[in-house]
């Protein structure tokens, strides 16, 4: 199947899919699996706080990807990146010859001059269209609008993916990608038919064999359904959707009992290091483990290439249904 969009044309992809940056998990092995399957993944810079480690991971990714593209995600949340040197990170990425940069967390306006000068292709990730309009106005190349159904941070507006897609079609001039709950090929075809240049996936790809996480963690995701997520941390204006477990139950209770609890009151429970242990041990009972509604579609632990082939076949079947329905009424 050939789906030509501004995304596939910019990076020579087989399928218009970006594999979202996953904290602690989006490493060189992950982006290489994506690249060889025909999509593009992002190394998460925040997972490698020491620039030397980030440079080393990018070098490894280049070796594993060969001539196939990958990008680097730079989250610009000051709270989460102490002593951040964002400009230096952007320079390092460009110096290493990586063109695609996904920015998230806050608007990259103050860095756009540098990013343009160094030839970066900037995809800014936002939770809803109002932020996409701002990103468009400062000159990003593309926006990724990731709605309420996503794992991780869906923002405070909690606008669903279908609505985001229709609004983006009506309001944006630059190419846009749609994410949040995307885990089936029919959704890819639907997004394209609604004007998107592609989709962003995270949760659906967590069960890929190449992902460096414990098999029991992946099996827990296969066993989970679309009803097994929890939204917490509203009280600190940092809403997050994660796999429901003991930690999310405790955090929800603390927030209910004391809406003024503040980040410090939750820190012991929500620290990323607690979640990171689950990826290593397979024990998913503790930690904030980002996961979205696409958990209902994570049905098997298998190689990334197999996942993408299935998505492609599903997208093709959906496009065929649309074509049949269109011709039937023409």
Structural domain boundaries in the chain: 11-212+299-328, 215-293
This model's pTM is above 0.75: yes
Percent of the chain residues topping a pLDDT of 90: 84
What pLDDT digit, counting tens, does each position of 94-107 carry?
Answer: 999 999 999 998 88
Given pLDDT bands bounded at 50, 70 and 90, which one contains residue 82?
very low
Note the pLDDT of residue 24. Answer: 87
Q: Where would I find the beta strands (DSSP E) of the chain?
A: 17-19, 40-44, 71-75, 100-104, 121-126, 142-146, 176-179, 198-201, 229-232, 240-243
Note the pLDDT of residue 106. Answer: 86
| Greater model confidence, 135 or 329 | 135
- pLDDT average, residue stretch 74-98: 80
- pLDDT average, residue stretch 256-283: 90
Given pLDDT bands bounded at 50, 70 and 90, which one contains residue 78?
low
Q: In CATH, what number does 11-212+299-328 get?
A: 3.20.20.70
C-alpha span between 171 and 117 (Å, rounded): 28
Given pLDDT bands bounded at 50, 70 and 90, which one contains residue 3?
confident
Given pLDDT bands bounded at 50, 70 and 90, which one contains residue 22?
confident
Note the pLDDT of residue 2. Answer: 66
pLDDT above 60 (res 1): no
Q: Check: CB of residue 193 under 8 Å from CB of residue 162.
A: no
pLDDT above 50 (res 139): yes
pLDDT above 70 (res 185): yes
Residue in the structure block whose two tokens are 């160094």: 118
Q: Check: CB of residue 177 under 8 Å from CB of residue 142.
A: yes
What pLDDT digit, counting tens, does each position of 48-69 carry?
Answer: 989 999 999 999 999 999 999 9
Distances (CA, A) of 225 to 33, 201, 204, 239, 295: 25, 17, 12, 20, 5
Contacts of residue 81, defined as CB under 8 A and 6 or more positions apart, other chains included, come to: 46, 49, 75
What pLDDT digit, counting tens, does each position of 271-317 carry?
Answer: 877 888 999 999 999 999 999 999 999 999 999 999 999 999 999 99
Given pLDDT bands bounded at 50, 70 and 90, which one contains residue 83?
very low
C-alpha span between 251 and 260 (Å, rounded): 13
Given pLDDT bands bounded at 50, 70 and 90, which one contains residue 216?
very high
C-alpha span between 103 and 124 (Å, rounded): 5
Note the pLDDT of residue 299. Answer: 96
104: which 2 tokens?
């998230």
């Amino acid at each position: 199947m050939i789906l030509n969009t501004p995304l596939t044309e910019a990076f020579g992809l087989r399928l218009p899919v970006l594999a979202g940056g996953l904290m602690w998990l989006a490493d060189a092995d992950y982006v290489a699996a994506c690249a060889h399957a025909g999509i593009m993944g992002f190394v998460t810079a925040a997972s490698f706080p020491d620039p030397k480690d980030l440079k080393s991971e990018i070098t490894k990714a280049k070796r594993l990807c060969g001539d196939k593209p990958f990008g680097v995600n730079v989250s610009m949340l000051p709270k989460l990146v102490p002593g951040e040197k964002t400009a230096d990170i952007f320079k390092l990425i460009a110096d290493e010859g990586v063109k695609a940069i996904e920015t998230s967390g806050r608007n990259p306006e103050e860095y756009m001059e540098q990013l343009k000068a160094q030839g970066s292709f900037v995809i800014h990730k936002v939770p809803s269209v109002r932020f996409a309009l701002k990103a468009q106005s400062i000159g990003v190349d593309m926006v990724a609008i990731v709605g309420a159904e996503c794992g991780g941070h869906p923002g405070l507006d909690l606008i669903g993916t279908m609505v985001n897609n229709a609004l983006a079609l009506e309001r944006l001039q630059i190419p846009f990608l749609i994410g949040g709950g995307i885990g089936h090929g029919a959704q890819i075809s639907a997004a394209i038919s609604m004007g998107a240049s592609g989709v962003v996936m995270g949760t659906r790809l967590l069960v890929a064999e190449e992902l460096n996480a414990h098999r029991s963690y992946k099996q827990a995701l296969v066993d989970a359904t679309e009803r097994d997520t929890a939204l917490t941390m509203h009280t600190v204006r940092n809403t997050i959707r994660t796999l429901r477990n003991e930690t999310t139950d405790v955090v929800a209770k603390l927030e209910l009992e004391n809406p003024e609890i503040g980040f410090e009151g939750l820190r012991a429970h929500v620290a990323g290091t607690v979640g990171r242990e689950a990826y290593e041990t397979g024990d998913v009972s503790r930690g904030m483990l980002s996961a979205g509604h696409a958990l209902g579609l994570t049905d098997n632990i298998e190689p990334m290439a197999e996942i993408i082939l299935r998505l492609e076949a599903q997208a093709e079947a959906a496009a065929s249904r649309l074509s049949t329905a269109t011709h039937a009424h023409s």
